[in-house]
């Protein structure tokens, strides 16, 4: 029976961290919030204070019941109840440092609450991964972020001869109750992180579709008169929904062809790309404008003013849409996840909709995606993605020397790539992240007082794997962790960044750096690299 004060914790499950029964004793860990007062009653003849009680813990033994009143403190207390039960009273933060480690060959399915003997209970800080008992020897593996005290509360051999942590022998003491105490030393390593701003970067235009000589004959013709979508009927002569043509992920691009009469003055587009999406439109090489995106909008209705057109002349409308993923659906019976992505509707003033013939593209191959290693979510419609230039070792011979912090001076999409080597210390888990500077600096078209964030979007590729989408004018994420195994901690790495400016004056990345997180001394072992194939010319790429 356990009683607690109603103002703090009112149920047993919130107090017990775990218990475990061994052949010679039972260990029970109890916790509470700092400063809380709790009371527990055990049906036994007596209980005695073993450690660090002071004024924080009192015991009343009467009528076959031991009542423990406990004021939660960071120092903790130990109470022995009867002959076999050891109750460790700790605060909530200390409870996080206790680990129950099943032993190899054990039969327990729930080492936290059942009576199996095949587990050890250890108080040891940051992380313990495994424990192994062999005869009179105990081997622990785990991670530490500082020199750490290790206390084995239960499960160690009663006549322990050796204790190792991550393969290193530790000096230890073992008391008469079998509790083992030792210390795992933390050794801070020396290492350096490349300064991305000092590296050599190469640049290529990723929107060559705007050039007059670009040929889109390999693009998919948007010629379906019906749609597979069941929740929105077509309001255009043919479907312009990406998924009807197998383009379900990544950015989408459209090219609409028409012969002008000279009377066209406006273009209306209704586009949908998911929450915080963006879009931009061009007429031939002229930037018409954009929808930069806001976090609460998945759709945009945008009207663009056209320059004077020459009758009888062929014109091409280019529309780029950022695909933010399909909707999640939280309502039973709803089909919100089927909301289409792409162009929902359009109007060219003074013309029938059928005057425009559309083509579209997404990731190269659509559902028959080309990169079987990285999977179907890795690529979108950008030229560099279709060509595979985001993969390691692209053909850089004709690419310009431009850094992403220099950016581009026009509305459009650029791609920047660099490479560097890492030589990280072995035996440590050191998380690395790419961090974009998230300031309020603007492109040439931004507000004169510098209070409006420039509208641009980035994609981050690391060794060919897409590992983040940074939307500068929406946010809030500006730090993108990339794990070891994607990053090569002991060799060469390739990093690519797309920069899509949605403003006429262009944009630049204010800052991009590689930063290290907490340095953890780890027993995890070596991390194998994910497959990293290099660029090779893609058949059928356009």
Q: Where in the chain is the domain with CATH 2.60.120.260?
A: 196-205+383-521, 208-361
Tell me: the pLDDT tens digits for 103-145? 865 444 444 444 445 899 999 989 999 999 999 999 999 999 9
Helix (H, G, I), strand (E, B) or coil at 101: strand
Structure tokens, 539: 């058949």
Least confident of 31-40, 46-55, 444-453, 481-490: 444-453
| pLDDT computed for residue 451 by the predictor | 52
Residue in the structure block whose two tokens are 């939660």: 72
Residue 442: how many other CB atoms lie within 10 Å = 20
Residue 412 falls in which region: left (phi positive, over 0), alpha (psi -120 to 50) or beta = left
Helix (H) or strand (E) holding 92: helix 92-95
Instruction: Quote the CA–CA distance of 234 and 316 in Å, as a whole number.
Output: 23
Q: How far apart are the first and last CA of the chain?
A: 73
* Model confidence band, residue 147 (pLDDT cutoffs 50, 70, 90): very high
- 386 DSSP 8-state letter: H
Averaged pLDDT, 35-40: 88
Give the whole-number percent of the chain exceeding pLDDT 70.
Answer: 91
Tell me the sheet residues that pair with 38. 4, 70
Least confident of 32-36, 347-351, 400-404, 516-520: 32-36
Residue 368: how many other CB atoms lie within 10 Å = 9
Residue 395 pLDDT > 70, yes or no?
yes
Structure tokens, 9: 């914790």
| pLDDT computed for residue 501 by the predictor | 98
| pLDDT computed for residue 55 by the predictor | 58
Instruction: Quote the CA–CA distance of 100 and 194 in Å, as a whole number.
Output: 39
Tell me: the pLDDT tens digits for 42-71? 888 788 888 775 557 888 888 888 888 888
Question: Average per-residue pLDDT in the chain?
Answer: 91
CA 489 remoteness from chain centre: 19
For the residues of 303-322, what is the DSSP string, one character each?
Answer: EEEPPP--TT-EEEEEEEE-
* Model confidence band, residue 393 (pLDDT cutoffs 50, 70, 90): very high
| Closest alpha carbon to 154 in 109, 103, 199 | 103
Tell me: the pLDDT tens digits for 300-325? 999 999 999 999 999 999 999 999 99
Tell me the sheet residues that pair with 32. 91
Structure tokens, 421: 């080597």
Q: Which class in CATH covers the domain with range 196-205+383-521?
A: mainly beta
| Closest alpha carbon to 281 in 253, 259, 260, 261 | 253
Contacts of 257 (CB under 8 A, 6+ apart): 314, 315, 316, 317, 356, 357, 358, 359
Give the whole-number percent of the chain exceeding pLDDT 90.
Answer: 77
Instruction: Quote the CA–CA distance of 492 and 396 in Å, as a whole number.
Output: 17
Q: Where in the chain is the domain with CATH 2.102.20.10?
A: 1-96
- Going 9 to 10 to 16 to 21, the CA torsion angle's sign is positive
| Closest alpha carbon to 389 in 460, 482, 459, 464 | 464
Contacts of 380 (CB under 8 A, 6+ apart): 249, 250, 251, 252, 323, 362, 363, 459
**Dihedral of the alpha carbons of 515, 516, 517, 521, in degrees to the nearest 10:** 180
Half-sphere exposure in the Cβ direction for 234 (13 Å, CA) = 16
Instruction: Quote the CA–CA distance of 382 and 267 in Å, as a whole number.
Output: 23
Residue 258 pLDDT > 60, yes or no?
yes
Decide: 318 and 254 in contact? Cβ < 8 Å. Answer: yes
Instruction: Quote the CA–CA distance of 438 and 480 in Å, as a whole number.
Output: 13
Structure tokens, 365: 């191959």
- The fold of the 208-361 domain, in CATH, is Jelly Rolls (2.60.120)
Q: Tell the CATH superfamily of the 1-96 domain.
A: Beta-galactosidase, domain 2 (2.102.20.10)
Instruction: Quote the CA–CA distance of 531 and 464 in Å, as a whole number.
Output: 10
Q: Phi, psi at residue 243, to the nearest 5°?
A: -70, -25
């Amino acid at each position: 029976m356990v009683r607690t004060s109603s103002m703090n914790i009112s149920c047993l499950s919130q107090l017990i961290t775990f218990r475990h029964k061994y052949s010679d004793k039972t260990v029970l860990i109890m916790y509470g919030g700092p400063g809380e007062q709790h009371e527990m009653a055990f049906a036994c003849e007596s209980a005695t204070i073993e450690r660090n009680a002071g004024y924080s813990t009192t015991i009343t033994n009467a009528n076959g019941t031991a009542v423990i009143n406990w004021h939660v403190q960071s120092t903790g207390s130990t109470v022995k109840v009867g002959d076999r039960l050891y109750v460790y009273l700790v605060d909530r933060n200390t409870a996080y440092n206790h680990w129950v480690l099943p032993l190899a060959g054990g039969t327990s399915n729930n080492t936290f609450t059942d009576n199996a003997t095949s587990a050890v209970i250890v108080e040891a800080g940051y992380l313990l991964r495994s424990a192994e008992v062999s005869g009179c020897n105990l081997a622990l593996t785990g991670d530490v972020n500082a020199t750490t005290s290790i206390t084995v509360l239960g499960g160690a051999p009663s006549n322990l001869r050796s204790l190792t942590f991550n393969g290193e022998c530790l000096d230890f003491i073992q008391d008469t109750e079998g509790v083992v105490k030792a210390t795992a030393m933390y050794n801070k390593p020396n290492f350096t992180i490349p300064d991305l701003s000092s590296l050599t970067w190469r640049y290529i235009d990723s929107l060559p579709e705007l050039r007059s000589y670009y040929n889109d004959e390999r693009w998919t013709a948007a010629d379906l008169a019906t749609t597979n979508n069941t929740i929105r009927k077509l309001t255009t002569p043919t479907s312009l929904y990406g998924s009807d043509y197998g383009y379900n992920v990544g950015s989408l691009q459209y090219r609409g062809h028409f012969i002008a009469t000279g009377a066209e003055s406006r273009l209306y587009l209704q586009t949908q790309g998911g929450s915080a999406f963006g879009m931009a439109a061009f007429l031939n090489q002229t930037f018409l404008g954009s929808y930069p995106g806001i976090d609460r909008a998945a759709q945009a209705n945008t009207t663009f003013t056209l320059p004077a057109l020459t009758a009888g002349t062929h014109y091409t409308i280019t529309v780029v849409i950022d695909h933010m993923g399909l909707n999640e659906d939280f309502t039973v019976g709803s089909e919100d996840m089927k909301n289409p992505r792409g162009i929902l509707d359009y109007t060219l003033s003074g013309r029938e909709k059928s005057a425009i013939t559309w083509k579209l593209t997404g990731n190269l191959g659509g559902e028959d995606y080309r990169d079987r290693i990285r999977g179907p979510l890795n690529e979108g419609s950008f030229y560099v993605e279709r060509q595979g230039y985001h993969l390691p070792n692209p053909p850089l011979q004709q690419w310009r020397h431009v850094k992403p912090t220099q950016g581009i001076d026009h509305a459009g999409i650029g791609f920047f790539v660099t490479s560097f080597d890492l030589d990280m210390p072995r035996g440590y888990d050191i998380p690395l992240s790419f961090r974009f500077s998230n300031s309020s600096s603007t492109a040439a078209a931004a507000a004169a007082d510098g209070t409006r964030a420039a509208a641009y979007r980035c994609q981050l590729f690391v060794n060919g794997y897409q590992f983040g989408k940074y939307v500068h004018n929406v946010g809030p994420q500006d730090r993108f962790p990339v794990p070891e195994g994607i990053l090569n901690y002991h060799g060469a790495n390739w990093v690519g960044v797309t920069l899509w400016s949605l403003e006429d004056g262009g944009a630049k990345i204010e800052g991009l750096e590689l930063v290290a997180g907490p340095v953890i001394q780890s027993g995890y072992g070596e991390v194998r690299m994910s497959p990293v194939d290099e660029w090779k010319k893609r058949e059928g790429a356009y």
